[in-house]
Amino acid sequence: NRIVMMPMGTNYGEQNGEMSFLHINYYKERAKGGTGLIIVENASVDSPQGSNGTTQLRIDHDNYLPRLYKFCEEIHKYGTCIAIQINHAGASAVSARTNMQPVSASDIPSKEGGEIPRPLSVEEIHHIVKKYGEAAKRAQAAGFDAVEIHAGHSYLISQFLSPLTNKRTDEFGGSVENRTRFCRMVIEEVRKQVGPFFPIMLRLSADELMEGGNTLEDTLEYLEYIQDEVDIFDVSCGLNGSIQYQIDANYLPDGWRSYMAKAVKEKYGKPCITVGNIRDPKVAEDILARGDADLGGMGRGLIADPEWVNKVEFGNECDIRKCISCNIGCAGHRIGLNQPIRCTVNPAVNTGEDYMKHKVNKPCNVVVIGGGTAGLEAACTAAEVGCTTYLIEKKAELCGLASVISRIPDKKRLADFPNYMIHRARKLHNLFIFTNTGATAELVKSLNPDIIVNATGSVPTLPPITGLHDLVLLRVTSIDEVINLTAFLPAESALQPEGLLHTRGMAASGLRPLCNIPHCCLP
């Protein structure tokens, strides 16, 4: 199939840079889920100088081969092809983690307020080129089916390609031909090491989406100098300074970047991967049908649901747990907090649905109080392992604030999670849901609970915004009124409609269908 899992850092690696068994489980779930090609997260070609994380994978020494070989063996059991991305972080490295000053094309930080790197000497550039080739050779020896060179997203090769970070005056700076020289040397060295029949992919920021940076037209020009030995273009976009496009914000539509892949494909006639908030199978199919790209790349979507491909293939699209592009557990945990990745909508990133293999061995009644997303998750999980489960919700509508907030236009992607949870709940015959029902002591006691789950939510804090505390005294009866009330705020107020929905007493009324997914297989 044409679905590719894109390379995303996880912080699952061992401290020495070796692939962990946690890693293997994580990728195995996506292979079992039917993914056609998995591109493993970026592995450092030259540590510690080129490392971009505390537990980043390494591929700069032969002692990492045994675990990588075992990994490839495991993934290939499921018929999935597998590649690995090789990378040098350059100025995106952090000295607090590497104990070294970052390096780059010039002394320009990779982001505003970032560390100032030192420019690489010509001798150092040639050394790093060799390290890329050696890393690719190891990937081939370990059993990978292809190798991807990262030339985007403000990493070292990108720092040479971009006029924003390359201010050199030697043969590696200035003209387009000079700025592409380092990348061209890396590709040529990789080809020399792996031979003519091993696929080389190149990930690039086709449009840097920053003033003074490479535009799509610029990229189409510079690819003339580096495209000869590339077999597949992985067409991404953005730099650290435009990260809302690199790691797509939730308001960006499904598949919005596909025009970039189309431009590269039309000019160079080589297979292209497109990425960008691809959540809806129909969007993915349309991209292929239009010929915009040859492969559909999914990253966070496969963190949220490793079974995405199988569910689409076998007609179970209603069961997809779609990524809501919140960027909290995947990007925020890893980049902001330097923690292993998690997922807001998938509590079992590494283990998938293995918990359902372990059923209760005696009758067990579970009562869940509160029908928000947390309450539904608890209730569904309990029912799926065999408990007789009762969910009590005092309102007419399930999924709480998540359902209400999703009616704001820029938050509409959030609706995918309530829809999924309600659909999942309705399929469970041992889960009984009471709406418009208060959880009195008498009711709870009558259900003979062995376990009681309190999922009644929280009371958000009101921010200190001028006029807000007076505004919350008004009665709100519909989502339209909530949005319209922003007109009454003082001009200096920075409050957004979604902020209003978080305040006490401002719950919108009105019923919604229990499952509003188009063409749902349930009534």
Active site residues per annotation: 155
Rounded CA-CA distance 331/3 in Å is 21
* Residue 515, φ and ψ in degrees, nearest 5: -140, 110
Return the residue matching tokens 């990133």.
Answer: 349
Return the residue matching tokens 């990262």.
Answer: 150
Q: Report how far Cα 243 is from the mean position of its chain's Cα atoms.
A: 12
Which tokens hold the place of 72? 């490839």
Rounded CA-CA distance 284/280 in Å is 7
Which tokens hold the place of 410? 């820029």
Rounded CA-CA distance 439/144 in Å is 55
315: left (phi over 0), alpha (psi -120 to 50) or beta: left
Which tokens hold the place of 321? 């747990």
3-state secondary structure at position 22: helix
* Residue 82, φ and ψ in degrees, nearest 5: -145, 135
Continuous segment of H or E residues that includes residue 82: strand 81-87
Rounded CA-CA distance 322/3 in Å is 15
Q: Which residues pair with 434 in a beta bridge?
A: 392
Cis peptide leading into residue 271 (ω within 30°):
no
- For the residues of 106-160, what is the DSSP string, one character each? SS--SSTTPPPPEEPPHHHHHHHHHHHHHHHHHHHHHT-SEEEEEE-TTSHHHHH
CB-based burial of residue 176 (10 Å sphere; 0-12 exposed, 13-18 middle, 19+ buried)? middle
Handedness of CA 121, 122, 127, 129 (dihedral sign): positive
Which tokens hold the place of 210? 């920053």
Polymer length in residues for the chain: 523
For residue 496, give Cα distances in angstroms to 98, 412, 462, 490. 40, 15, 13, 12
3-state secondary structure at position 522: coil
In this structure, what DSSP letter does residue 474 have? S
* Residue 57, φ and ψ in degrees, nearest 5: -65, 150
334, 341 Cβ separation under 8 angstroms? yes
Rounded CA-CA distance 436/393 in Å is 6
